[in-house]
Amino acid sequence: MLKRLLLIGLLCVPVAAWAFFKPVRIIAPELAGVSCINDTLCLDDVSRSQEAAKLYEEALHFVDSSVGSIEHKPRVIFCSSDACSQSFGLGRRAGMTIGTFGIAISPRAWKPYYMRHEMIHHLQTERLGIIKAWNDPEWFTEGMAYSLSEDPRAQLSEPFEKYRTQFKGWYAGVGKERVWAEARYL
Ligand SMILES: [Zn+2]
């Protein structure tokens, strides 16, 4: 449901109103009070730039080499405060990816596997297109993100554990080379 609302928001809301729709602030993060130190890295606490850059590069390299090559490097907003998280509408989520527009990371998501998880969502949109990626079943989109990010948690909260298991079974059958071609039929 949230995905549908976001899609409707992205497609229908006039540009001037976007800044009031929290997740869409990812497109123009400066309006939400964060500083962008380059095209891909924005933070509310710039003293943590090095730590953020390290997480970013590690995840980019990991996803590129073990999931699929990323065409356009995503912009990532690293939030150190809850106020920052809430200004992007993260709610209780650890991270959020809006199409290929950008990624927002909450204070608790400054971990390699969370960063990889969101970059995998970015890659899904690059490979499948925004409409297809958002309409694909969650066992595929979330299952892939949890599984291929090598999330170390032995047991995820449901329904994500179920999604991860279902994706693993599907992936074992189609193989890495055919994953995007097969995903188009889901
Ligand atoms: Zn996810």
The residues, any chain, with a CB within 8 Å of residue 39's CB and separated by 6 or more, are 73, 75
Distance 36 CA to ligand 1 centre (A): 24
Question: What's the whole-number mean pLDDT along residues 147-155?
Answer: 97
Distance 96 CA to ligand 1 centre (A): 7
Q: Which pLDDT score is estimated for 117?
A: 97
Q: Which pLDDT score is estimated for 2?
A: 56
Distance 160 CA to ligand 1 centre (A): 9
Distance 121 CA to ligand 1 centre (A): 7
pLDDT band at 137 (very low <50, low <70, confident <90, very high): very high
pLDDT at 6 over 70: no
Task: Tell which residue, 38, 28, 100, 110, has the closest CA to residue 70.
Answer: 100
Question: Max Cα separation, the chain?
Answer: 46
Distance 76 CA to ligand 1 centre (A): 15
What integer best gives the mean pLDDT of the chain?
89
- Give the residue, 130 or 21, on which the prediction is more confident: 130
CB-CB neighbours of 33 under 10 Å: 11
pLDDT band at 11 (very low <50, low <70, confident <90, very high): low
pLDDT in tens, 82-107: 999 998 889 889 999 988 889 999 99
Distance 145 CA to ligand 1 centre (A): 6
Written as one string, the DSSP assignment of 7-71 is: HHHHHHS-GGGGGGSGGGGGGSGGGGT-EESSSSEEES-GGGHHHHHHHHHHHHHHHHHHT---S
Distance 178 CA to ligand 1 centre (A): 21
For Cα atoms 140, 165, 161, give the angle at the middle one, nearest 5 degrees.
90
Structural tokens at position 97: 């990816």
Q: Which pLDDT score is estimated for 143?
A: 97
Please list the alpha-helical segments (H only) found in 96-137.
112-128, 130-135
Distance 83 CA to ligand 1 centre (A): 21
pLDDT at 10 over 80: no
